[in-house]
Amino acid sequence: MVIVMQPGASEERVQAVIERLVEKGFDVHRSTGVERTVLGAIGSKNGVDFRDFELLEGVQEVIRITEPYKLAGRTFQKENSQIKAGGVVIGGPEVVLMAGPCSVESRTQIKTIAKLVKEAGAKVLRGGAFKPRTSPYSFQGLGEEGLKYLREAADAFGLLTVSEIMDRMDIPIAIRYIDIIQIGARNMQNFTLLRELGNLNKPILLKRGMAATIDELLMAAEYVMSGGNRQVILCERGIRTFENATRNTLDISAIPVVKKKSHLPIIADPSHGTGLRDHVAPMARAAVAAGADGLLIEVHPEPDKALSDGAQSLYPEQFTGLVRELRIVAEAIGRKI
Amino acid sequence: MVIVMQPGASEERVQAVIERLVEKGFDVHRSTGVERTVLGAIGSKNGVDFRDFELLEGVQEVIRITEPYKLAGRTFQKENSQIKAGGVVIGGPEVVLMAGPCSVESRTQIKTIAKLVKEAGAKVLRGGAFKPRTSPYSFQGLGEEGLKYLREAADAFGLLTVSEIMDRMDIPIAIRYIDIIQIGARNMQNFTLLRELGNLNKPILLKRGMAATIDELLMAAEYVMSGGNRQVILCERGIRTFENATRNTLDISAIPVVKKKSHLPIIADPSHGTGLRDHVAPMARAAVAAGADGLLIEVHPEPDKALSDGAQSLYPEQFTGLVRELRIVAEAIGRKI
Amino acid sequence: MVIVMQPGASEERVQAVIERLVEKGFDVHRSTGVERTVLGAIGSKNGVDFRDFELLEGVQEVIRITEPYKLAGRTFQKENSQIKAGGVVIGGPEVVLMAGPCSVESRTQIKTIAKLVKEAGAKVLRGGAFKPRTSPYSFQGLGEEGLKYLREAADAFGLLTVSEIMDRMDIPIAIRYIDIIQIGARNMQNFTLLRELGNLNKPILLKRGMAATIDELLMAAEYVMSGGNRQVILCERGIRTFENATRNTLDISAIPVVKKKSHLPIIADPSHGTGLRDHVAPMARAAVAAGADGLLIEVHPEPDKALSDGAQSLYPEQFTGLVRELRIVAEAIGRKI
Amino acid sequence: MVIVMQPGASEERVQAVIERLVEKGFDVHRSTGVERTVLGAIGSKNGVDFRDFELLEGVQEVIRITEPYKLAGRTFQKENSQIKAGGVVIGGPEVVLMAGPCSVESRTQIKTIAKLVKEAGAKVLRGGAFKPRTSPYSFQGLGEEGLKYLREAADAFGLLTVSEIMDRMDIPIAIRYIDIIQIGARNMQNFTLLRELGNLNKPILLKRGMAATIDELLMAAEYVMSGGNRQVILCERGIRTFENATRNTLDISAIPVVKKKSHLPIIADPSHGTGLRDHVAPMARAAVAAGADGLLIEVHPEPDKALSDGAQSLYPEQFTGLVRELRIVAEAIGRKI
């Protein structure tokens, strides 16, 4: 923590601040300039709230020195983490495609899609069974039955599965069917759930909350990792801004920023990020060009008949065409699909 | 739903859209102007995604006609809901004060505060036992033990209790100690939890998420209400914006907006909304002046020693002074404290 | 500036940063802790970009110590500025009401309103003559003719005038008719214009830009003040957020924040801040309760026939009723209207 | 405009709304459903404020049917506009690179950079002479002298020039030296300036304001175009959001959205969009992958010594490497550099 005193703050006030810092267990380094005094406080313990110092007399500004995320940050692990699931590596040279419908709707539907996305180049099959819906009157997913269909379809075509759970009570069911457990944006700070995931030995796909800063996303990952499970994949899926031409604003710059701050892999979800099919392909290309380690894309054989999010699902042939473009983009930065 | 066709869209395209609407079960009303055609579609069923129509050829814009929140909205209930808990009425002529520490820290601490806030005019004692903390390394609350102390302290001074729960598995414990169950901003769209709350017969204090629109807040209330529990109290506690001089931006205008759209009571939390003690009093007065039905305020006998959020907690004498001012403000609009 | 080195950064890298700081004219104070080294750099000259240091090897974080706004900040002027115009004092114990139509539409219209707002208690008459409109096809104001009508009406009832100018070429005309020159939100960072205003001897009403932080608002005031004109009145009029139930989000907390950082008076504009008549009164009361030094409110004798912004203009009787309430709210905090 | 009546609104109220619409010159089409009545109003004139209807009794919601930007929109011009300047075409198959320093600092500096960026593949030389700076104490640019150096350097290497002006009084000077006149984000809604640009016969590079929606950006273009100058190039340069890991959030999705709504070319400025050199290359690639028609990139021979924005300027060799990657990305979508 660094404390900047007001210009002309009396010696008495400076001393009062120093005493308080010492009391809280800090080592204090004082810099006295012509105009003002700056105090560096090192060795902070958790539980100190920097705002307490902001309220002391004579203090102009208090600056928190961000604690490195001990486990999620790059400080103590320089090299990229590679998360392995089945034979697939996320965070390595390959850009991993995860694709499938928003919701698993039937055994036939998910099987049809599994075949399509496999042929196009996907490695992981997505499909929702527990759906977080804004309205209580919307389709809420098939639950365990949906997960069974998802698993069957994935196995039939040699794919992995990724699917969302919404509550820690869903975990026992989930681990029987899901290879990569997805935590949705609305649950990114469901700390009770995050703690439970820390006890698993499964990759977790952690989506950024709509109002979450990148630092908060990394702190949410830290929750999982501090429990022992280091297999966290981050996912940018759009933040909420004043612009409403798109459902959310897909924050592509989060990709290079995360790469600099953390060793964890980060993928992007251009389907939820834009909310409209027309914009999915450009944003998918943009994410790969910016360095994303993978993509999560909604594809549906008949988007017009989808029970949820059909408008943002690609037609199968659109997905195939997109993968062709993505291969070239990936090459431009020395990666492959 | 209203569909605006592009100027000059061919008759064929207009017909294609009409057919699609009819197929989805809509009654269609066509308005053909000189420049363009507008289609009104009435009788929508849930499960229709308006974006599907946005993608049809010749369509310029699709406008969703917001479904009234059947239970939370004012359309079908004109008069204000009054939520009763013990002898206290929230949503009536009285502005109800709920006050106490961020976290219950000890039996003595909560008892000291209970006495203070009671004398100053509060009716409900707040105090956290299950704490959602951004960092896994911060103080996480005393759990059930904290709730016991809270209950004891409240009973000793004739106060009600309000406290947050974070997971549906906390409910059985919570209902033994808590009069008003608080759902925090981060859980506003924890739909699994909301559903469970719908089965209770207890007032729910539902805080607005940091990135939640007012419509989404009302939809979250609808989740609880659709399960049978109509006792929902809304709470504005600050939204996330680009401004970082305050922790959040307390959206005071949400108060009159909610009053117009919904019959549910709405209170404000100026402590979390601003994050700094100095700004709590002005914002508390502002909320009451704007028509809030109550306030949730953090007070601590020794804020400097608080285990969490001390910087935003009022000193006891500040709280007492504030209540004096609030009484006059409430009178200005024909209410009382 | 404070530079936090990465844990384990080599001595060589620390020295490289120190050399660079010295080269740029800083005094450097080094704090070496067990985990990491922190460098305090004092005596910065303008023109140093703190991001340059962020890019050096071994640097984890660079923290800018905000330069106090030399003229707008409280550091060098503790007591509140009182801006005098005619016999009216803005920033003193009185809360000053400025009211009138969005646009001056005719000699009769502005005269009718002048009488109304004077009787209700306003001291300043507002009315736009140069209108910034989002669409080039909207009504753009009456220009100089409008200013003449405004002046006449104000003089007839002993009111001052406030009106917006949009370009430095409007200044010569403006100073003949306007007592308080208003700079709109869209021009808050029109630096060319701000510089010219610095040469005048007239109060300037500076509105906060829709995406401007409070610090940027104060820096914009600094532009005017650094030219010699210290008579700046700040105005909160709503910021842009994701919430679209209101036109903008009136950031009431900006009022106490500005009061803490600056000695300049701050008023609020609840008409533009909410965009809808129904919400003007609650937000006007909230602003006064939070400590605003004045209000800028749109009133129109026939809002339905207004050429601009009728929907957010109060009916005369609404304005009169509001002033009654505001008087009580002002009293609650020891002020008067 | 579409007006949705409240369920159960009386026939009297419906008639009152219809009368009001007719009075304002609308053709009204009524759709009466079981639950509610919807009124379509066609033929609106400018100057009707849809909020006026929102305030009528019995009205639940008023929906504005966005007027197509007559000149900037795709409705009346399906094919892409190609803006020609010298031999360069912006909006054609080629992705046009515009590069150079933030500010022109000296004759030598700009000449050195001109050579570098020309060799790397740029077609247009950027360099600021009139600088909008947040602080009045920062370097404000060399003015006309800077423009002379820019012109000389561009001519020496067969490049075009792009540079910002801040005021309509700068136009006479600007047109002597600048091929593409840049309007900065802070002036996007300086309507006085926009009008003047409408009278020129020069391409205008119009940057999106930090809080401007895409619709507002297109309306600003409409201002210029309605004056007769159709040569507008749009530029995405980052919007303001709650995320502060980057200076702004570069809204890559604005690129496909603009492409759908408008025929005008759109380029991206990843330097201002991110504010840090490390993130410029990934975001430049992302912008091209998403379909940008060009890039505006800051390059400096010695970024450490730049008088402004050095931290976001690329080293010459970084720029050269980036162009190599961009060529491959452009190919992936059938374009070239």
Give residue-wise pLDDT tens across range B142-158.
889 999 999 999 999 99
Task: Report the C-alpha gap between D290 and D153 in whole angstroms.
Answer: 32
Contact D290 A282 (CB under 8 A): yes
Please report whether residue B201 resides in a domain: yes
Short-list B97, B113, B98, B161, CA closest to B306 = B113
Please report whether residue D77 resides in a domain: no
Same domain, D128 and D235: yes
Q: List A residues 153-192 in contact with B (Cβ-Cβ < 8 A).
A: 166-169, 186-187, 189-192
For D197-231, what is each residue's pLDDT tens digit?
999 999 999 999 999 999 999 999 999 999 999 99
Residue D45 pLDDT level (bands cut at 50, 70, 90): low
Burial label for B111, CB within 10 Å (0-12, 13-18, 19+), is middle
Task: Report the C-alpha gap between A216 and C77 in whole angstroms.
Answer: 38
For C250-276, what is each residue's pLDDT tens digit?
999 999 999 999 999 999 999 988 888
List chains adjacent to chain C, taking adjacency as at least 3 C-beta pairs closer than 8 Å.
Answer: A, B, D
DSSP letter assigned to residue B206: E
Residue C47 pLDDT level (bands cut at 50, 70, 90): low
Same domain, A53 and A200: no
Q: Is the pLDDT of residue A306 over 80?
A: no
Return the higher-pLDDT residue of B316 and D1: B316
Going by DSSP bridges, is the β-strand pair C83-85/C88-90 parallel, antiparallel, or unpaired? antiparallel
Please report whether residue B156 resides in a domain: yes
Question: Contacts of residue A209 in chain D, CB cutoff 8 Å?
Answer: none
Same domain, D125 and D22: no
Short-list C170, C126, C168, CA closest to C150 = C126
* C268 within 8 A of C236, measured Cβ to Cβ: yes
Q: Is the pLDDT of residue C74 over 90?
A: no
Of all residues in chain D, what percent carry a pLDDT higher than 90? 63
- Nearest residue of chain D to residue C242 (CA atoms): D241
Q: Is the pLDDT of residue B319 over 70?
A: yes
Please report whether residue C319 resides in a domain: yes
Short-list D104, D108, D115, CA closest to D316 = D115
Same domain, B134 and B233: yes
Same domain, A91 and A239: yes
Q: Is the pLDDT of residue A281 over 90?
A: yes
Of all residues in chain D, what percent carry a pLDDT higher than 70? 94
Q: Is the pLDDT of residue A257 over 90?
A: yes
Question: Contacts of residue A307 in chain B, CB cutoff 8 Å?
Answer: 47
Contact C137 D210 (CB under 8 A): no
- Nearest residue of chain A to residue D275 (CA atoms): A253
C255 Cβ under 8 Å from any chain B Cβ? yes
According to the model, what pLDDT value does residue D219 have? 92
Same domain, A58 and A96: no
Arithmetic mean of pLDDT over chain B: 90
Task: Report the C-alpha gap between A256 and A253 in whole angstroms.
Answer: 6
Please report whether residue D69 resides in a domain: no
Same domain, C96 and C229: yes
How big is chain D by its Cα radius of gyration, in Å? 23
Choose the closest CB to D63 out of B2, B33, B43.
B2
For A202-232, what is each residue's pLDDT tens digit?
999 999 999 999 999 999 999 999 999 999 9
Report the run of H or E that residue B194 belongs to, with start and end: helix B191-197
For B282-306, what is each residue's pLDDT tens digit?
999 999 999 999 999 999 988 877 7
Contact C49 D311 (CB under 8 A): yes
Angle between helices B277-289 and C316-332 (to 10 degrees): 140
Return the higher-pLDDT residue of A192 and B159: B159
Contact A256 D278 (CB under 8 A): yes
Q: Is the pLDDT of residue B200 over 80?
A: yes
SS3 for B171? helix
What is the pLDDT averaged over residues A274-299? Answer: 94
CATH code at position A22: 3.30.70.1140
B327 Cβ under 8 Å from any chain A Cβ? no
According to the model, what pLDDT value does residue B231 have? 97
CATH code at position D177: 3.20.20.70
Distance from CA of D84 to the nearest CA of B (A): 29
According to the model, what pLDDT value does residue A68 have? 59
Task: Report the C-alpha gap between D110 and D100 in whole angstroms.
Answer: 8
* D259 within 8 A of A281, measured Cβ to Cβ: no
- Owning domain of residue D87: 83-332
Residue tagged 């940027």 (tokens): C216
Q: Is the pLDDT of residue C34 over 70?
A: no
Residue B307 pLDDT level (bands cut at 50, 70, 90): confident
Residue A66 pLDDT level (bands cut at 50, 70, 90): low
Task: Report the C-alpha gap between A24 and B243 in whole angstroms.
Answer: 30
SS3 for C237? coil
According to the model, what pLDDT value does residue B45 have? 58
Which are the contacts of A42, defined by CB distance < 8 A and separation ≥ 6? A26, A27, A28, A29, C31, C33, C35, C36, C38
Q: Is the pLDDT of residue A46 over 60?
A: no
Q: Is the pLDDT of residue D49 over 90?
A: no
C143 Cβ under 8 Å from any chain D Cβ? no
Question: Contacts of residue D307 in chain C, CB cutoff 8 Å?
Answer: 47
Burial label for B133, CB within 10 Å (0-12, 13-18, 19+), is middle
Task: Report the C-alpha gap between C236 and C248 in whole angstroms.
Answer: 11
Same domain, D31 and D96: no
C57 Cβ under 8 Å from any chain D Cβ? no
Arithmetic mean of pLDDT over chain C: 90
What is the pLDDT averaged over residues D305-309? Answer: 74
What is the pLDDT averaged over residues C203-220? Answer: 95
Q: List C residues 198-237 in contact with D (Cβ-Cβ < 8 A).
A: 209-211, 216, 219, 222-223, 226
- The listed range with the strongest mean pLDDT (A307-311, B251-255, B275-279, D297-301) is B251-255
Choose the closest CB to B279 out of C239, C256, C333.
C256
What is the pLDDT averaged over residues D309-314? Answer: 82
Same domain, D94 and D29: no
Distance from CA of B241 to the nearest CA of A (A): 8
What is the pLDDT averaged over residues B20-48? Answer: 75
According to the model, what pLDDT value does residue D34 have? 67
Residue A184 pLDDT level (bands cut at 50, 70, 90): very high
Please report whether residue D304 resides in a domain: yes
Q: Is the pLDDT of residue C78 over 80?
A: yes
C68 Cβ under 8 Å from any chain A Cβ? yes
Indicate if ipTM > 0.95: no
Question: Contacts of residue B141 in chain A, CB cutoff 8 Å?
Answer: none
SS3 for D211? coil
Split into its structural domains, chain A has a count of 2
According to the model, what pLDDT value does residue D61 have? 80
Identify the residue among D2, D10, D39, D260 best suited for mutation to test binding to B, counting B beta carbons within 10 A and taking the highest: D2
Q: Is the pLDDT of residue D46 over 60?
A: no
pTM for the structure as a whole: 0.87
Please report whether residue B74 resides in a domain: no
According to the model, what pLDDT value does residue B39 have? 85
Same domain, C154 and C290: yes
Angle between helices A214-226 and A254-261 (to 10 degrees): 50
Same domain, A94 and A59: no
Distances (CA, A) of C165 to A195, D107, D192, D194, D267: 57, 38, 10, 16, 32
Please report whether residue A72 resides in a domain: no
Same domain, A28 and A142: no
Q: Is the pLDDT of residue C46 over 60?
A: no
For C111-169, what is each residue's pLDDT tens digit?
999 999 999 999 999 999 987 776 777 777 888 999 999 999 999 999 999 999 988 88
According to the model, what pLDDT value does residue D43 have? 66
* B81 within 8 A of B258, measured Cβ to Cβ: no
